[in-house]
Amino acid sequence: MNRLSVRLSLAFLLSAWIGIGAMVLVVQRTLNTGFRQYLSARESEVNPEQTARLESYFAANGSWVGAESALSGRGAGSGGGAGRGATIMIANLDGLVEASTDPAQLGTTLSTEAVAVAMPLVVNDVPVGWLFRQSPGIEALGTAEIAFLNEANRWLTFAGLGATFLALVVGSALAWTLARPLRELTNAVRDLSVGQLGRQVQAQGTVEVETLAAEFNAMSRALAEAESLRQRMAADVAHELRTPVSVLRGHIEAMLDGVYPLDSAHVAVAHDQTIHLARLVEDLRVLTLAEAKRLPLERTRFNPAALATQLLEAFEPLALDGEIRLIRRIAPNLPDCTADTTRVRQVLSNLLTNALRHTPTGGEITVEIVPVPAGVHFSVTNSGSRLSEADAARVFQPFWRATAARERDSGGSGLGLAISREIIALHGGKMWVESKDEQVCFSFMLPT
């Protein structure tokens, strides 16, 4: 009873019954009323001679008193539509019966229905009364009429049974059609609960069901991608930690075994590995806090031009060593920004470091800072390299490295861009990358 298909079928059946019941009531009432009005109109027809005789009587006497003699005259019981034992009555304009072939009707008042089918009596163009003929057919339908109504009711019953069957068939088919995609969604959700991520269902049915299926497919893909990223990140973390730990362990064991002398040079190698481990752990901590929106920020008001100029002066010697041109395009009168200057400097420093690493000798790096309606736009563009669409879509993933930077000695840990994007997002901005004409441009926007 609680199934959608059952409820829909019952709803269709109930609707059909209500419609059939209303139709039966309307048809029966129409037939009964129509027959009675037909009989009344048919049997109320009077002979024109009788009408003229009655109007002449009123013109001669000025009232309907004693008009029974005119009613019982010739033609009283005949003429168009005279019925079986008809009663003829004359009423004044108020509907009060003043003359009748049936003395019991004297003093009674004609009903509104009777007046509607009565014949008006007119003298000198002035209405003076009503002539009404009432037959037994008006009070009770004849045998033929009753038989016709019974036959009509029988066919209405057959029509109701047929409509009930049709409502059940159509309702069940429609309910099954509507419920089928929901059953498929239920099975897919059950698969998700046991770890079968990425399950897709076919979007079909009504607009609402198709929207629900599309949202489920998007959620399933997102869960599968998140699980794949989690597994890859766990493997990458283990791989990144294993190399310095292995080097550190090897040097310590060699010094303990006497293979390496216990001098400052070999201790320095071990020390460098501990620094690398500490930096990697710190990067992981910052990335985790940033993704969880829990990284603390010390927001202050600063001038973007001053911060960028200070940072570019620090990178100028590195660019000269690599024979790389460092071009500045900083718009004058930049509006101040409110942000964590340490984190913004970290983002710019990471972008400049990556640009220096991927720019060949004789290339150039362009740093551009311009105002935009929503804030300040920063961009770092380097020449001599490019990113494919697939690489551009993955460049902000943790531990991702471009093909030319797979070696850790030159490619870093692969966390810098992921951390940078999360830092900018925490400030209410956004970061993106574009690549064309052998150039790669990393941009981000900070709101003012």
Per-residue model confidence as pLDDT tens digits over 38-67: 655 555 555 677 788 888 888 888 888 888
- Is residue 10 predicted with pLDDT exceeding 80? no
Nearest Cα neighbor of 280 from 306, 244, 228 is 244
pLDDT value, residue 2: 55
For residues 23 and 164, the answer to whether their CB atoms sit within 8 Å is no
Nearest Cα neighbor of 231 from 192, 195, 274, 282 is 195
Q: Label the pairing between strands 364-372 and 375-383.
A: antiparallel
Q: pLDDT per residue over 336-386, tens digit each?
A: 999 999 999 999 999 999 999 999 999 999 999 999 998 999 999 999 888
Q: Which residues pair with residue 130 across a beta bridge?
A: 91, 120
Task: DSSP letter for 55, please.
Answer: H
- CA 448/CA 373 separation, integer angstroms: 9
Q: Give residue 283's identity as a one-letter amino acid code.
A: D
Task: Supply the mean pLDDT for the chain.
Answer: 81
Q: Which residues pair with residue 382 across a beta bridge?
A: 365, 440
Backbone angles phi, psi at 29, to 5 degrees: -65, -40
Hunting for tokens 């003929």 — which residue is that? Answer: 133
Orientation of helix 143-193 relative to helix 207-256, angle to 10°: 10
Q: In the chain, what's the furthest Cα-to-Cα distance?
A: 156
Helix (H, G, I), strand (E, B) or coil at 65: coil
The residue with greater pLDDT, 25 or 294, is: 294
The residue with greater pLDDT, 271 or 35, is: 271
Residue 240 has, within 13 A of its CA and on its CB side, a CA count of 26
Q: pLDDT per residue over 244-291, tens digit each?
A: 888 888 888 888 888 888 888 888 888 888 888 888 888 888 888 888
Q: What percent of the chain has pLDDT over 70?
A: 85
**Using CA atoms in the order 50, 55, 59, 63, what is the torsion angle rounded to 10 degrees?**
90
